[in-house]
Structures are given as structure tokens and as C-alpha cells.
Structure 1
Amino acid sequence: MCIKFGLATKAGGGDHRRCCIAHGAAMITRRSLALAPLAAMALAAPALAQTRTKVRFSLNLPRNGSNLAFLFGRDRGYFADEGIEITDMDPASGSDALTRVASGAYDASFADTTGLPDLVSRAPDAAPLSVFNIFRVTPASVVTWSKDKLTKPADLVGKTLGGPITDNGYRLFPVFFKVNGLDPASVKFNNMDLRMREPAFIRREVDGVTGFDSTIWLNLKLLGVKREDISIMSYAAHGLDIYGNGILVSRKFLRDNEAAIPPLLRAVAKSWREAAKDPKAAAAVLTKIDPIIRADIEEERFRWVLEHQVMTPETAATGIGPVDVGRLQKGLDLQVEGFGLPAKIPVSRIWSDKYLPALDQRKMA
């Protein structure tokens, strides 16, 4: 018996055959309609994949707590959700993160923006553009032994410091000293490989070392040093009020893929927001990449960065990303004077806020 619109037709008759043909056609039509969305999705998937913008991204340092938010965001799919395909997220050393993006070898980087004034003066056409600030305070510091009681910049006169000359802790030292009315030449500096900095400090080959506070402190902790044994002299706490790391984009990427910058920054903002909510889970991503990494140490490093460089009153008011243009200009002026650069550098030469996400997407919990 064939059922058609609630009417029963006996098998064997012409009406039955017509009914079954109609019923079969209806079934085929319904099945086709049901499968149509799946077919459309299958056809659309390659197209969507093709529309993703490929971005080669450089980290600021070896993979650690200072940059784990980016790795966490990539692992959670935040960049892919915005149509961004991170083809590389490579570690760097010292100023490499800046030179990589300046050369165009990388599209974007998480780099210390204090290297921009010198680059603008030397190679203005190559200097990348800063589009998103994350470190509200420069992490640059001098670390000494607490028992030596070197607590203010003037105490460093006549001492010997060490560190890699490619590191911005060293590069900013003349500016830091001049801001405090001191002569940088009054301090001897030993250039050394980044990997040898903390061991040389422990062996007392130098009186102190320059670099980023969390990098030096947590590296020393891994070598058995206690926090109370060291003194951290922050440049920011002694007159050098400048911004630190942020997102830089190359001039080539700006020219060829400008439309991809807003979604890239939305993914960056979400990565930092979500990582800050669960530092332990964020740090665990590092061990997925490299099992040798100590997740507990890198979680502590990340928490340090959040407390000392990211979660400032400025961030509470505006979220991560934007800058105070007046403060940025003052910082640039200090660097121009401290580095002995030939001309004033306007904010517009290194910074743009036109690609920033909306405030609700930048707010940190």
C-alpha cells in the first residue's frame, strides 16, 4: 500500500504505480535538499581555506612566558577563526624580531618598539609600523646582587655590566643613564652571548647584567638563585618612561595585505585576554611544542609580565593595544637625544591606531 497525502491506494493498480513514482520523486527531492547544505559546505571549504591570509610571525625571544599568549592563541584557533594562517611563529634573539620584519622576511613580529627610532633614522623606508602595544612599561633593567646594595643608577658608576649588545637592555642603557644625568662611559660593559649572561653573573665576572627583568630573573631561578638574592633596577622606575613590546608589521605586508591587519590584531587581543584568564593552561601549550620547557617556570614568567608590563592603570582604562600619543612622543624624544639621532621623530612615523580592535575586544579581565 502506498500512502499519499493521507490516502491509501491498493497495490497493483495504476494509481498505485503513479503514487509510488510521485513518492519516490518526492523522497529524492527531500534527500537532495537535505544534502545540499553539506555539498555547499564541501565546495566552500577549499575557497575559505584559500581566502586565509598567510602570516609569517616572529616572536621576541625563545619560546617562553613572555610570548606564550601567541602560541596559546594559535593552539586554540583564534588566528584561524579570523582568517589568518600563521605559517611560522618562530623564536628570536635580541633585536632579531625587529630586523626580521624590517627586512620583509617576516610579515609581523612581537618586538621591542624601542629599536624603532634608530631604524627610522638609518633606514626610514624599511622601518616597520607599530600597530598594537602590549608592554605598557619597558622591561629593560639592570640586575645586581642584593648584598652589593646597588639600588640607584648612580651606584653603577665605575662598575662592570654584562649582556649581549644586540639586547635592548644594553641598547637603552645610554638613554637610561643620560635621563639620570650620568655618563654612560662611566660604566664598563662586557659583551657576551645571551646564553652566557646569567652564568657569568653567577660567577661574579660582572657586577650586574642588563636585559628584560623577567628573562634574567627566571633564568637565574632555574640556576638556583633566590629572588631575595638579587636587586632589579628597572629603567622605567628610574625615569625612562617608555613603552615596550608590541606588534610590528612590515611595510610590504602593510602594502600588500593591509586588510588582514585588523583580524590579525583581533586574534592577538583575544590570545592575550584568554591566556591571562588561565595562565596554567596557556603555559601548558609550551610543553606541547617542546617537552623540555618547564611549564611552571614559564607560567611564573607570564604572570610576572602581566603584573609588571601589561596590567597597568593605562590598560585598565583602555585595554591592551592603544598608546598615549603624548607619552609615546616624549619617549621618542628621550631616545632621539639619548641615541644622538639627527632629527626629531614624530609619532606618526612609527605608530598607527587605525587597525585597533574595538574596546570590548581589547579589555583585559
Structure 2
Amino acid sequence: MKLLITALCAAFTTLSASAADLSLMLNWTPTADHAPLYFAKAQGWYKKEGIDLNIETGKGSAATAQRVGAGGTPLGIVDLPTAMQARGKGADLTALMVIYANSPQGFYWLKSSGITGPKDFGGRKIGNPPGDAARLMWPAFAKKAGLEPTAVKFVNLSPQAKVAALKAKSVDIISDFYNEHDQKVKEFGNDLGFAPWSSVGLNVYGNSIVVNHAFLEKNKDTVAKFTAVTQRAYAACVQAFDPCLQALMAGASGLNADNQRDQWERIKTLMRDETTTKVALGAFDGARVKSDYDLVSSLIGIDKAFDPSLMFTNEFLDKKTRMTAQ
């Protein structure tokens, strides 16, 4: 009887482990850049590693960084400079894998408004959500563009309302990720003005998967398995996106398949840099992380300084899995 009870307890423990809940909070609502997560979940890859992944909608990088940093959820997707600012305020988080090795951030306007570039932004209204990474990083962009950070007025908009607001001219400029570029080209044609952040010399790391550091220390095996599956999923979606698109469309509502397919083509260019193609897909370069930290510290400010090398780890990435060169 004792042996039977011991066996049953062991079986129960195994079953519990195989169904362990793990939550990940997105930066915003699901789009193509999150498709690999939905694909791996639909394929049962996480479940096979003992992870029952719950994907939560986010409300901006700042909100997700705060939630993960406070231990409200173990994992999240956050723009890396925003994660740095949050860590400077006491958020306990570490980046596990970069999704956007190049900054996806850009500003859009209508040429018919008289704006020819960022130098003309002064006195204009920029529409974006209050928790948007572009708003948090605006002081850095403004200084690089030769503007005072107070030169513009921000108007609160949901992500879904940006294009309509620009079309209605209730705002002069909107911020958005480059993966949404095709949608705006179709909407505005030759009247569309665009400036990527790189046009003023800003190419900081973008969306990255972060983990609560205390959770990481107590659950290294789970975090290692999650990271390995996620890296593998992104690599699979680079090779063939249709199965990933199908999983995304089944797992999220209100999406247009053609738009998401267009987005993924842009996303692949954002995923690709010297480190992700030669070291590992999702890998951070320590020198770039330090450069981003120095930029955030000098142009925006970090409340409490920390060693930027502690902001990330490449420990759980498979070096044999690399981003394609083209």
C-alpha cells in the first residue's frame, strides 16, 4: 500500500508538472510578430516540455515591464530600452531573447500637411497610446532630431485608431512599428511620409522576451525549456510562415491574414543583424546593449544606475539555431 501511494504521488507530481501554467504578457494585442508563440502552442511544443503557456494581451511595453518586474506575471514582451527604464525604477527583470534586433519604431505623417521630416514636428500632435515605447523614448528621438522634447503634443490613441486618426487629421503624426508599413502605404499612397528612428541615428534593440529575475532563479529549467521552444518556433516561422499564420488567426481575433503576412516579411528584416545571423537567433550583443543603456541614461535618464550586462542573458539560446542571412 505504501508503495502504491508513493507511486500515485509520483504520478500526480508528474501530471502536475506536465500541466504547469506559465503566463506571458504581450506588449500589445497579437500580431504577426507573436505568431511563433501561437504556432508552438498549437503544435503542443510547450506542452511537451511541461509548460501550459497562457498568452495575455498587453497594454504597452511600459505596462508589461511593470507587471513582469513586479512578479505579476513571469514572462513578457517589452521594448528593451523601456525594460531598462523599468529596471532603473526597481523592476526585477532580465531579457532572454531579442525579437527585433533592429528598432521597429517609426513616425508617419501626410506630406500634404506640410511636414517634410522630423525637423517639422515642432508644434504638431503625435497620436499613440500612453504606454507606447515610442512615447517613452520620444525625448531621445527629439534630441537626436534637434527638437525640444516639449515641442510636440501627444494625443492618446489605441493602436487600432492610429490610421483613422491620421486620415481624419485629428493628429498630424502617428508612431508605429515598421511591420505595419504596408497597411499605411495602401491607405495613403504617395501622400505618406515616413521616418524610421534610424534616420536620426537611433537603432536601439526593440521587442524582447523578458522574465522576472526572481522567477528565473527559482525556475531555471522551466525558463530554459520555454526559451528553447520559443527560439525554435521563431526559426520555424522564418522558414515557413503559413502554418504560423494559421495558428495566429485561430488564436487571435480581428486580424486580416494578408496584412499579417505582409507584416511578417517586414519583421524578418527587423530580426536580422550581425549577432542573430552569426551567434544565435534571438541573441543580444553586449556592446549594443551597453550602447542602448548609455543612450537611455544620457538622453532620457535611468533612476538608479545598474550594470547593463545584467540586463540580458544568452544562456538559454541554442547557438546552432541562427537567423537566416536573407
Cα offsets for 1:236-263 (capped at 9, x unmatched): 3321121011110013311321222211
> Bigger CA drift: 298-307 or 344-353?
344-353
What does residue 310 of structure 1 align with?
A: 271
Contact 2:101/2:271 (<8 A) preserved? yes
Alignment of 1:72 onto 2:39: yes
Question: Partner letter of residue 209 of structure 2?
Answer: I
Q: TM-score, normalised by structure 2?
A: 0.87
- How is 1:11-22 mapped onto 2 (pairs within 5 angstroms)? none
Compared CA separation, residues 268 and 280, structure 1 to 2 (3 A):
same
- How is 1:48-67 mapped onto 2 (pairs within 5 angstroms)? 48-52=14-18, 53-67=20-34
Compared CA separation, residues 146 and 106, structure 1 to 2 (3 A):
same
Query: Out of 190, 209, 212, which is 1:250 matched to?
Result: 212
Alignment of 1:139 onto 2:115: no
Work out the CA distance in 2 between the residues paired with 1:204 and 1:280: 36
- Runs of 5+ consecutive residues of structure 1 not aligned to the other structure: 1-41
Work out the CA distance in 2 between the residues paired with 1:200 and 1:57: 30
Cα offsets for 1:262-292 (capped at 9, x unmatched): 1111101111011111112211112222464
Question: Partner letter of residue 51 of structure 2?
Answer: I
Work out the CA distance in 1 between the residues paired with 2:321 and 2:223: 15
Question: Partner letter of residue 353 of structure 1?
Answer: N
Contact 1:117/1:336 (<8 A) preserved? no
Contact 1:270/1:362 (<8 A) preserved? no
Q: TM-score, normalised by structure 1?
A: 0.78
Question: Partner letter of residue 147 of structure 2?
Answer: L
What does residue 197 of structure 1 align with?
A: 162
Compared CA separation, residues 253 and 342, structure 1 to 2 (3 A):
closer
Contact 1:117/1:345 (<8 A) preserved? no
Work out the CA distance in 1 between the residues paired with 2:123 and 2:237: 43
Alignment of 1:341 onto 2:302: yes
Of all paired residues, the percent bearing the same amino acid is 20
How large is the Cα RMSD of the aligned pairs?
A: 2.5
* SS of residue in 2 equivalent to 1:67: helix
- How is 1:251-270 mapped onto 2 (pairs within 5 angstroms)? 251-270=213-232
Work out the CA distance in 2 between the residues paired with 1:304 and 1:197: 19
Contact 2:32/2:264 (<8 A) preserved? yes
What does residue 198 of structure 2 align with?
A: 236
Between structure 1 and structure 2, the one with the greater Rg is 1
1:151 Cα deviation from its structure 2 partner: 4.7
What does residue 361 of structure 1 align with?
A: 321
